[in-house]
Structure 1
Amino acid sequence: MNGSRSLLLAGAGFMVASAAWSHGYVSNPPSRSILCKEGGNSGCGAVQYEPQSLEYTSGWPTGGPADGKIASANNASFGNLDEQTSTRWKKTSVKAGVTPITWTFTANHATRNFRYYITRADWNPNVKLSRASFESTPFCTHDGGGKQPPKVLTHNCSLPARSGYQIILAVWEVSDTVNSFYNTLDIVYDGNPPPVTWAAKGTIYPSVDLSAGDKVSTRVFGAAGELAQYKTQISIANVNDGLRNNWAYNLASRINAEQTVLRAGQKAADGSISPAYGQNEVYVRSDSGLERVEIQVDKAPAGNVDLLVSGLSSEYTIPASGPLSISLNVTAVGELDVAATLLDAAGTNKGQATAALNNSGQTLVVPVNQPAAGTYSMVVKGTPRAGGTVLQKTYAVTLKAGGGTSPSYDYVFPNGLASYKGGTKVLASNGKVYECKPFPYEGWCRVWSSSNNAYEPGVGANWQDAWIAR
């Protein structure tokens, strides 16, 4: 316990020290904070003297400032910035399309990336800002490459179609501290927005009848991976609900009722999209940043038998030399013989891992035989030892060509957890290798459980406090 307290204090001291020498703000369109300094905004409090100091821990949107404290970057001294009504702050007129966004740095710190988020089309401007106010996928990103930017830096970003008052959240993530800078930009769209268009990005195929207890859900993906907030799910209550045309219609109807940037159904000549009994296309708004939609059917387990899968990424990079392995976590409810098999588009077995489990979990590492760029399927099957229906779950996996040599590792995370120390290398669930930071940070490397994965390498919200990507 005492060691944990010392480690926490050391991390806190590191964060405070970093705040003194890395600063910047968005100067065009002017951020809320710089307008406080220049007189465009009034009643701002202390931030008018430090518009460059809106700094807090990285990790947005899963981490970062708390809801209701986003504009102030969780800094009580700058709390006036968190006031939020439709008339409180001066706004800058913009148009949809290519828009320059300029940062001015008072200390141009080495940079990991810049990300820009915009409020959802249905946000409430009279409620304090929260994660629900913003789209979870950035509409613009720029890699910093770990280098210091010039004192003034402009990004040309494609601003999504909107109307009226909106807010841009600009995030500058520095590379050798745990912090980011958070700037809010109050903007108002000039003139009528471009018409909203819809693009088909997935299909609901009514291929089989389902049984009571089965579930059907959408899996929605953007550039950064799967986006859980756009998931829609229905449960099959009876035989009639499970008829293939009926559940397809019910899922399409539920998507239309729950989502604002997704529509499901068949498109009419006038462009309207309505649910149908049968096959339905899933459409996404052109300004949403969403890239594809998959449909997942989860069969109700027979009796008390179930198969749970986690830790599988949707995309992996092929090293220029060295092997490629894909790891995933499987948990058996009951006694199951589990097999994870990677199949290419032609159905060829490219790698397999197996385990015999009895109400337990294990990390499976699937070695990929002669990997090539393309789309694959990871098929995970659980065969009940007592007999009965084989459980199967299938996930789309993309392999991309890359460079560099695949680094070696000491453990497949979280195996050997108690022995982790500075320099220990592990293969994480995303298929990448991470090295445990030396003292005083190595203690975080051993902090993990199935219910607390904040420091899980490459996955947890605070993994960079403990690990270095290799």
Structure 2
Amino acid sequence: MIQLRLPHHSLFKLLVASSMMLLMAVVMLLFSDRAFAHGWVDSPSSRAYLCFLKQNKNCEDAGYNRNNLEALKGFPQAGPADGKIASANGKYPELDQQSATRWSKVPMTAGMKTFTWTLTAAHVTSSWKYYMTKQNWDQNAPLSRASFDLTPFCSVNYGGKKPPSTYSDTCNVPSRTGYQVILAVWEVADTANAFYNVIDVNFGGDSSDTQPPTAPTGLSASNVAATSVSLAWNASSDNVGVSGYKIYNGSTLIAAVSGSTLNYNVAGLTSNTSYTFTVRAEDAAGNVSSASNAVTVTTPSVPVDNEAPTAPTGLHVMGTPTSSSVHLMWSASTDNVGVTGYRVYRGTTLVTTVSGTTLEYTVTGLTPDTSYTFTVRAVDAAGNVSADSNAVNAKTASGPAVAAWAPNTAYTVGTLVTYNGKTYECRQAHTSLVGWEPSNAASLWLLK
């Protein structure tokens, strides 16, 4: 009988541990796309939120997607890799740029401080945790676990409850001096994911800012329609500077804009409904003003509309198709009330819907050296749909052969595959398994 003998007991332990880690990684990756919750630290303003407010520069994409900084939970044992903590494992790599002067800093003092999250899609929650850099961390090196005190200075067990759309924790911030970074972690209860926000702060003694801006004045409403209204107000003033304005319907936060923006178009309202709006100003330290004057409006009823828009005309291909895309353009439709959108079709398949003021669209994810037929239809607010535009035929250019996705195949970053008639690019090296099809694994594949 042949006996299998391991040379060292430690090797056996290493093999078992490696197998368990691999199994855990597979399970977590399978469920990593299930967290539909989204949110960001609104006050004191996170790095990504200050990108949105244009206080931080050259990071507009991260600011626009500030509610999507999501990675595997379990920090510090798991979670984003060192060097990718600020970007939630590389989603928006510009956030990982790190130097003593790269980012705007929020004034901070030790003691009790309220941290407020804005949640655009609340989700059952395990915990909220807050970490801070060590006093003498390297401000010019990428953020890593070595940068932080890995014991959270504030930890709130939320017990699997669903938080409100605006959620706050009041925490005792430890004493520091100079530039520090706070890492706020929102752990979702029923998925493998968490949301990671970094906050750049400055413990500067006399430079701390505790004075809120003045309340906005002159809030007014105009262009009141069945589903929208335009708001405008006068600027607030602040001893340091206004970083943004928050718009409320009653007590519900509905939007936030930059400190240089003095108007907002509220969309998605219900017809024949009363709304009361107010606006509050905020500075970079998280100080919030009292409310502006209130404005109450009642949206009108939607008129009965049974008339469809006219069919779009003049649909044509702009330029030369690439191996994977075709640029379409058409002439506007007319409607007795108003065109609200255009639907672009590839054959009988709806590709996308664009706004009623958009008269062009680039169809992507196509197969090289392939003929396609496109049409466009107009739609109005009542859901009336026009007849088809003229049909236009286009053939994509020849390109490198793209293989169909297959299970049990090793893929490297940048590899292109096709699946169900669409082209995807590999975002993370892996060996595919059944269930990891490109349409099911957005963390692994990017639709082209």
TM (norm. structure 1) is: 0.38
Give 1 or 2 for the bigger CA radius of gyration: 2
TM (norm. structure 2) is: 0.40
